[in-house]
């Protein structure tokens, strides 16, 4: 939590964490995993109320954590954003991350962002989004 807050303040962005918590069923191909709503975090930062995360989900595809985040632009203005995923193992050690990737959200546009972890050690993910820097 401390780390999350630190990153939020650093990037002025939304941070959202998702977690594959179904320990018994995970690792089988394409099973949809439970999400933990307690770990959904939105901070009242510059993007808030303009761009929002509608929902998110995760599953294991080919033994790899596959995350999906649905995002909505609530504004009439086009936003040029950047997003990234960070992957964590069940001990909360970071085991991978994507670089910041570009995302353009047109007025009122809804988009689904998906990413797959490149290591089978990934059990949880955090999603970061910020205005283009």
Which residues, 6+ apart, have CB-to-CB distance to 112 below 8 Å?
68, 69, 70, 71
Q: C-beta of 83: minimal distance to another protein in Å?
A: 10
12: left (phi over 0), alpha (psi -120 to 50) or beta: left
Structure tokens at 76: 């009439």
Among 72, 98, 109, 113, binds another protein (CB under 8 A): 98
- What is the spatial distance between Cα 69 and Cα 92, in angstroms, rounded to a whole number? 20
- What is the spatial distance between Cα 23 and Cα 90, in angstroms, rounded to a whole number? 10
Among 115, 125, 127, 129, binds another protein (CB under 8 A): 115
Is 132 a binder of another protein (CB under 8 A)?
A: yes
- The stretch near another protein (CB under 8 A) out of 8-16, 17-25, 38-46, 112-120 is 112-120
What DSSP character marks residue 58?
E
Binding mask 13-32 for another protein (x = CB under 8 A): --------------x-x---
Is 107 a binder of another protein (CB under 8 A)?
A: no
Site residues, another protein (CB under 8 A): 27, 29, 61-64, 66, 82, 98-102, 115-116, 118-120, 132-133
């Amino acid at each position: 939590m401390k780390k999350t807050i630190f990153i939020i303040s650093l990037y002025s962005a939304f941070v959202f964490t998702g977690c594959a918590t179904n320990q018994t069923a995970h690792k089988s191909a394409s099973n949809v995993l439970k999400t933990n709503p307690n770990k959904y975090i939105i901070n009242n930062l510059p993007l808030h109320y303009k761009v929002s995360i509608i929902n998110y989900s995760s599953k294991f595809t080919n033994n790899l954590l596959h995350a999906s985040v649905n995002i909505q632009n609530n504004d009439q203005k086009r936003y040029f954003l950047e997003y990234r995923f960070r992957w964590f193992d069940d001990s909360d050690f970071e085991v991978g991350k994507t670089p910041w990737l570009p995302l353009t959200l047109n007025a009122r546009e809804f988009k689904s962002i998906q990413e797959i972890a490149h290591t089978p050690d990934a059990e949880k993910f955090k999603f970061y989004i910020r205005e283009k820097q």
